[in-house]
Amino acid sequence: MEERIAYATLDRAIPAAGPQGIVRRTLAWNKEAMTCHFLLEKGAVIPMHHHSAVQSGYVIRGKAKFMRGNGESFIGEAGTSYVFDPDEEHGVEVFEESEIIEFFTPSRPEYR
């Protein structure tokens, strides 16, 4: 298994299906950090979940509701950035076709 991908381009990244209506492309990564590109179809849902990585993101286009395990939520639209702490429960409901860049620290081995 590779130990890192020092640079990557979106057009060469291999698409990986997630929950229905969600496609992830893992871009550059090492064991400390990872960049991923997500395309999310209208109506797609990422169920509430948590992981040990800090997750920060930036909405390029679209509209989605981001939910936190404590009951808080916010609407992410083009230009919105956010962060979820390690082991913080979170999920997403997609209102419009969306494109999002997310960063994970440390990287997520299951996304390599």
Name beta bridge partners: 77: 63
pLDDT of residue 2: 75
DSSP assignment letter at 20: T
- Which residue do the tokens 């590109």 mark? 37
pLDDT reported for residue 111: 93
Domain tally for the chain?
1
30 domain-assigned: yes
Task: Provide the CATH number for the domain around residue 91.
Answer: 2.60.120.10
Residue 11: how many other CB atoms lie within 10 Å: 6
The whole domain housing 42 covers 10-96
pTM across the whole model: 0.94
pLDDT in 10s for each residue of the chain, 112 residues = 678 999 999 999 999 988 999 999 999 999 999 999 999 999 999 999 999 999 999 999 999 999 999 999 999 999 999 999 999 999 999 999 999 999 999 999 999 9
